[in-house]
């Protein structure tokens, strides 16, 4: 029996192992991996054994159901690019491997990064059958915090104090605030585009070889690097750069503020789209973006579109070309200030991105799809593509009774909601972690302290539920 199991990704096993070895509330913790030789528990050989010996395609539908299998495939960045028979076999083999492991080890809690691939999706579904909590950990919008989630929903586990809330509010409303993934120095040039393109093309070729050398050709980490996947860079996508409007700030000033909309595109593929949105029709992000622009454009809004910084080099030219043809759309350069757009536009639209949260703090009309930080009082929601059609009416109602300034109590309530599911710690300490490096140990300490303090509470709360 193993009380706590951590699931590691590629190049994170030493980090997870250090956390497992230093938990003070249990002497029974271990790390699982889907890569050979990295951890105590490795599911690779069991996965391929199941593929050889069982009719995994049929068992996937038997154990799970065809409808749920389709959902797993649709949400995974790799499976949706594969032959369906292969995808179903992989789901079935992974299901059996995890089910056997959980039955044997009987953990009280399993933790990893947030679900962003079919492997964790299947693990989470197996755990739910066995009534074992899965805790997904990611970087919080609050600087120097991690956030605990379950498929895009917050897992609250504490009551933040007033000092924390006040400190976080000062950080978030600061004009210079930006999420941890945003580089303040990167220059989004054509040179960077071609360096990105070449890097991922070469990487794809390398991993095509590695997957066979490692005798692990269906490993998702290796498959996800291959060049034939829909979301990988393509030669002609450099044309996206031709449609970035350098005069966007002048155009913005020519439009009445109440008719300006900031549409913030999100990273694709990404957990916050693939696994946080309930409606499968919203997973077709390009269709969603086009529909929002057309619906709001017909209502006399001008839509200013800014892409996610990490999407540079990956955005498909077809979408941008279609958007550029719309007279009410302005495509903003990558290095434009998101905070400036939030403040200069009366409305912001995103699915689950942090822009929606920042927007409400700035007193703007924020439209989201049940984002983890949102509530019914301060946000406009859409739950599916059909809901997009009613956005002009909802915006009109919001603008009919505007407040001069968002109330401090409103901000504090929203921050408290996020902090209740957040704890101190730097998620990115996993990068090149070395347990023999004193600086690395010092940086990981706040996260380790948080896990030791709060994971027992989460386990106890789940047991009582």
pLDDT digits (tens, 9 = 90+) for 188-240: 999 999 999 999 999 999 999 999 999 999 999 999 999 999 999 999 999 99
Name every residue whose Cβ is closer than 8 Å to that of residue 78 and which is 6 or more positions away in sequence: 117, 118, 220, 223, 224, 229
Q: In whole angstroms, what is the distance from residue 115 CA to residue 465 CA?
A: 23
pTM of the model: 0.93
Q: Does pLDDT of 404 surpass 60?
A: no
| pLDDT-based confidence at residue 440 (cuts at 50, 70, 90) | very high
Q: What is the pLDDT of residue 319?
A: 97
The C-alpha torsion from 58 through 59 and 65 to 71, rounded to 10°, is: -80
Cβ proximity of 149 and 423 under 8 Å: no
The answer to whether the Cα torsion of 423, 426, 428, 434 is positive or negative is negative
Q: Which residue has the higher pLDDT, 267 or 185?
A: 267
Q: Does pLDDT of 402 surpass 70?
A: no
Q: What is the pLDDT of residue 181?
A: 62
Q: What is the pLDDT of residue 54?
A: 78
Q: Does pLDDT of 408 surpass 90?
A: no
| pLDDT-based confidence at residue 182 (cuts at 50, 70, 90) | low
**Tens-place pLDDT, residues 308-334:** 999 999 999 999 999 999 999 999 999
**Tens-place pLDDT, residues 108-141:** 999 999 999 999 999 999 999 999 999 999 999 9
Q: Does pLDDT of 302 surpass 80?
A: yes
Q: What is the pLDDT of residue 461?
A: 87
Q: What is the pLDDT of residue 118?
A: 97
Backbone dihedral angles phi then psi of residue 306, each to the nearest 5 degrees? -125, 130
Q: What is the pLDDT of residue 247?
A: 96
Q: What is the pLDDT of residue 403?
A: 62
**Tens-place pLDDT, residues 34-55:** 999 878 899 999 999 999 987 9
**Domains of the chain, first to last:** 4-158+422-464 (no CATH), 189-233 (no CATH), 242-417 (3.40.50.2000)
Q: What is the pLDDT of residue 93?
A: 96
- Percent of residues, the chain, with pLDDT higher than 90: 87
Cβ proximity of 44 and 35 under 8 Å: yes
Q: What is the pLDDT of residue 401?
A: 75
Q: What is the pLDDT of residue 462?
A: 82
Q: How would you list the strands of the sheet with 380-381, edge to edge? A: 329-332, 302-306, 260-264, 347-349, 365-368, 380-381
Q: Which residue has the higher pLDDT, 400 or 146?
A: 146
Q: Does pLDDT of 183 surpass 70?
A: no
């Amino acid at each position: 029996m193993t009380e706590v199991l951590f699931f590691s990704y590629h190049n994170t096993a030493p980090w997870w192992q250090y956390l497992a070895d230093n938990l003070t509330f249990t002497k029974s913790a271990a790390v699982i991996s889907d890569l050979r030789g990295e951890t105590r528990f490795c599911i690779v050989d069991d996965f391929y054994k199941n593929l050889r010996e069982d009719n995994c395609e049929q068992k996937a539908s038997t154990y799970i159901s065809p409808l749920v299998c389709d959902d797993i495939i649709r949400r995974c960045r790799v499976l949706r690019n594969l032959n369906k028979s292969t995808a179903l076999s992989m789901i079935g083999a992974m299901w059996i491997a995890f089910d056997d492991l959980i039955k044997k080890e009987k953990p009280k809690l399993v933790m990893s990064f947030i679900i962003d691939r079919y492997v964790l999706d299947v693990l989470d579904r197996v755990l739910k059958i066995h009534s074992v909590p899965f805790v997904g950990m990611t970087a919080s919008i609050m600087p120097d915090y991690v956030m605990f989630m379950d498929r895009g929903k917050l897992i609250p586990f504490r009551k933040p104090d007033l000092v924390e809330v006040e400190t976080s509010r000062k950080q978030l409303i600061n004009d210079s605030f930006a999420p941890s993934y945003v580089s303040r120095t990167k220059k989004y040039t054509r040179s960077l585009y071609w360096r990105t393109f070449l890097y991922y093309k070469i990487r794809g070729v390398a991993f095509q070889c590695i997957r066979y050398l490692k005798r692990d050709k269906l490993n998702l980490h290796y498959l996800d690097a291959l060049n034939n996947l829909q979301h990988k860079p393509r030669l002609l996508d450099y044309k996206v750069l031709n449609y970035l409007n350098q005069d966007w700030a002048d155009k913005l000033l020519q439009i009445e503020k109440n008719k300006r909309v900031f549409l913030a595109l999100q990273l694709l593929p990404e957990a916050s789209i693939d696994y946080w949105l309930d409606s499968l029709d919203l997973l077709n992000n390009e269709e969603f973006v086009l529909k929002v622009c057309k619906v709001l454009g017909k209502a006399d809004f001008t839509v200013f579109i800014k892409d996610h910084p990490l999407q540079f080099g990956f955005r498909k030219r077809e979408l941008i070309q279609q958007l550029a043809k719309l007279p009410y759309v302005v495509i903003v350069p990558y290095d434009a200030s998101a905070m400036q757009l939030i403040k200069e536009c009366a409305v912001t639209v995103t699915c689950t991105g942090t822009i929606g949260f920042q927007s409400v703090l700035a007193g703007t009309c924020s439209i989201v799809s049940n984002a983890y930080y949102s509530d019914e009082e301060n946000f406009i929601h859409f739950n599916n593509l059909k809901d997009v059609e009613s956005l002009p009416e909802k915006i009109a109602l919001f603008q009919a009774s505007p407040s001069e300034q968002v109330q401090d109590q409103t901000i504090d309530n929203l921050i408290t909601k996020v902090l209740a599911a957040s704890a101190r710690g730097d998620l990115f300490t996993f990068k090149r972690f070395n347990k023999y490096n004193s600086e690395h140990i010092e940086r990981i300490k706040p996260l380790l302290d948080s896990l030791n303090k709060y994971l027992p509470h989460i386990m106890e709360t789940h047991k009582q539920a």
